[in-house]
Structure 1
Amino acid sequence: MLLEHSADHGHSWHVYRYFAHNCSGLFPGIPPAPGHRVGDLVCDQRYSDIEPATEGEVIFQVLDPTILAENTNNTEIQELLRVTNLRVNFSKLHTLGGRPLGGLKGHPFYYYALYELVVGGSCLCHGHASECRPAPGSPPSVEGMVSILRGTSVAGGRVSQGTRVDSSCPPPCQVHGHCVCRHHTTGTHCEHCQGLYQDRPWQAAEPGHPHPCQGRCHALLCLATPAMGQPAPYPASLPCSRM
């Protein structure tokens, strides 16, 4: 089984972790768990035994608590945490040594079910917000900053030998919300500087360093033109005019 994630609404996918009862045989070249660094791609054998046959559990944490992450706001970790879609790929099932339950001649298959999926998530604000509110038009029951999504009987179907089946969360299985931006940032994820605060390029916040957007003119509009040839940050002598 593979747990995959996408940060661009399903246009591209990346593996979070491999799961198998025989990692070296089924996923050669993938080192066994545990990893040594945050984001290490490994194969976990703890959850893939033939028993329990039902109500088995798989637990995955993007940030492994056994691995020290000094700065969770660095670019590498933020990319791991940024998720628009999750996908569970079943590439092979235990066959119990018996015959398949049905299927066309030459195409046997086995039934499977994913009866519950629990996902915890929060808004991506790049450290520039301490509050996230439900997006406009969201149902009243939708939370803002943090959501624990619980779906029952979210997937089921059949797997043919040698066939990979993908299973995705339905549309209601989403974390809704938009950041209440601070530090003179704006955007759904506080990913831009406000119009009058662009003296220096936008930066994500870091522990102890919020990297707020800055603007010398504040309520003034700086008149920067290509003819000036002045890249940001602009010099203090840059002419400004009141709006």
Structure 2
Amino acid sequence: MTWSSVVAAKGDASRECGWEPNGDVPNGEKGLFPHVINLATRARISVNATCGQRAPEVSAAPPWGWLWDGMFQERPLKKRGIALLTEFLHTSCLGNLGSSKLLVNLGSSKRFSTLKGNVSPLPLLPVSPRPLSFPVCDSRSPDPARRHPIANAIDGTNSWWQSPSLAAGRRYEWVTITLDLRQVYQVAYVIVKSAVSPRPGNWVLERSLDGRRFEPWQYYALSDADCLAAYGVQATRGRPSYATDTQVICTSYFSRLNPLEGGEVHTSLVNGRPGSAGPSEALRQFTEARYVRLRLQKIRTLHGDLQGRSSQSDASVTKRYFYSIKDISIGGRCVCHGHADNCVSDDEDGRVSAGRGHGVADL
């Protein structure tokens, strides 16, 4: 078996993770393997918390929700941010700027911002006189734009799933998403794309064959120190790498603040492992799963933003923090032991079997 023959079904995902088509196996034999498909599109997906389920929820969604506090001190404002900020001024929605200060000369062609005490001129931008609207999440709304169910994470559209914000309680840092692939597959990669929030801070990617006993595939943490403190695993520095076919690492590589929206987490379960050229029984067993679980455990916030605050002590701060996921892709293939070259789907029950080549291998 050669894992190098994997061809990703989702655009350039194969190139991103370094997989190239190659049908040769070390012993010189040619194997027939199904191409990788996106297993998430046929999965059953569930989650234990979604915004707007108990009542309509107003959130301060990025990017403008993130413009307050320390962001002014970290880098110059982008034009979009300045326009939004000026809208706040026109509608008296300044809120609490914390230690940051903003000076605006509405009567001139220049606006000035104080960044760490240094006054810098900023160009005048056109500002809409309309009041700034706050996003509302309501699972019972007839407007689909206000509903953010977990099904949005695998429907292939620009819609997204969103969790309750921390204004509803700090317990919503712990959210679990489970995908039932309906049968056992060999999983090559998992890609998670955030929507209108940064990527999750601390979380665990897990697998299971029976839906009861889950084992970790990989840990993710806000910092290398968090890897050890939260998961008892020494952090792998830089881009994820693996010493063995079954090593479970912890990485902070994908938990950086930027980008504030649309950030992606690419997890290869094959590439970079010693047995990726195959055959490797250990790697085959390590990648087999029917259930894939994301246990989100800490939201990425601005440094120090929640220190000394209770879960609902300042809704202007806590309502801006939540998870949002636009897409979950799971690249995998049938468990056919090299005896078929494509997967045959059953549209009625969502199951997939391997066909052609030396026969059909079902489970």
Give TM-score, length-normalised by structure 1: 0.51
1:183 deviates by: 6.6
Q: CA RMSD in A?
A: 3.4
Contact 1:2–1:15 (Cα < 8 Å) also in 2: yes
Residue equivalent to 1:31: 234
Question: Does residue 90 of structure 1 match 2:296?
Answer: yes
- Structure 1 pair 78/181, CA: closer, same or farther in 2 (3 Å)? farther
Larger mean Cα displacement after TM superposition, 129-138 or 88-97: 129-138
What SS does the corresponding residue of 1:69 show, helix, strand or coil? helix
Question: Does residue 12 of structure 1 match 2:213?
Answer: yes
Residue equivalent to 1:2: 204
Residue equivalent to 1:146: none
Contact 1:24–1:30 (Cα < 8 Å) also in 2: no
Give distance in 2, aligned partners of 1:47 and 1:136: 35
Query: Higher relative contact order at CA 8 Å, sep ≥6: structure 1 or structure 2?
Result: 2
Contact 1:130–1:180 (Cα < 8 Å) also in 2: yes
1:102 deviates by: 9.4
Report the identity percentage.
Answer: 21
- Structure 1 pair 30/13, CA: closer, same or farther in 2 (3 Å)? same
Give distance in 1, aligned partners of 2:330 and 2:276: 24
- Structure 1 pair 128/50, CA: closer, same or farther in 2 (3 Å)? same
Give distance in 2, aligned partners of 1:61 and 1:123: 17
The count of corresponding residues between Structure 1 and Structure 2 is 150
1:188 deviates by: 2.1
1:72-120 deviation per Cα after TM superposition (whole angstroms, max 9, x unaligned): 3433111122121211111112221335999667xx7841111211221
Give distance in 1, aligned partners of 2:361 and 2:218: 31
What SS does the corresponding residue of 1:84 show, helix, strand or coil? strand
Question: Does residue 48 of structure 1 match 2:223?
Answer: no
- Structure 1 pair 181/76, CA: closer, same or farther in 2 (3 Å)? farther
- Structure 1 pair 181/14, CA: closer, same or farther in 2 (3 Å)? farther
Structure holding more helix per residue: 2
Give distance in 1, aligned partners of 2:283 and 2:226: 30
Which stretches of structure 1, 4 residues or more, deviate above 4 A after TM superposition?
99-105, 181-184
Question: Does residue 188 of structure 1 match 2:358?
Answer: no
- Structure 1 pair 136/20, CA: closer, same or farther in 2 (3 Å)? closer
**Among residues 67, 73, 76, which one is paired with 2:273 in the alignment?**
67
Counterpart residue type for residue 31 of structure 1: Q
Residue equivalent to 1:178: 353
What SS does the corresponding residue of 1:79 show, helix, strand or coil? helix
- Structure 2 unaligned blocks of 5 or more: 1-202
1:22-74 deviation per Cα after TM superposition (whole angstroms, max 9, x unaligned): 2333434313222211221111121111222221111111112x333266343
Give distance in 1, aligned partners of 2:274 and 2:361: 31
Counterpart residue type for residue 32 of structure 1: A
Question: Does residue 134 of structure 1 match 2:345?
Answer: yes
Give distance in 1, aligned partners of 2:225 and 2:310: 30
What SS does the corresponding residue of 2:275 show, helix, strand or coil? coil
Contact 1:178–1:188 (Cα < 8 Å) also in 2: yes
Residue equivalent to 1:229: none
What SS does the corresponding residue of 2:322 show, helix, strand or coil? strand
1:131 deviates by: 3.6
Give distance in 2, aligned partners of 1:91 and 1:136: 35
Contact 1:20–1:26 (Cα < 8 Å) also in 2: yes
- Structure 1 unaligned blocks of 5 or more: 139-173, 190-243
- Structure 1 pair 41/188, CA: closer, same or farther in 2 (3 Å)? same
- Structure 1 pair 75/181, CA: closer, same or farther in 2 (3 Å)? farther
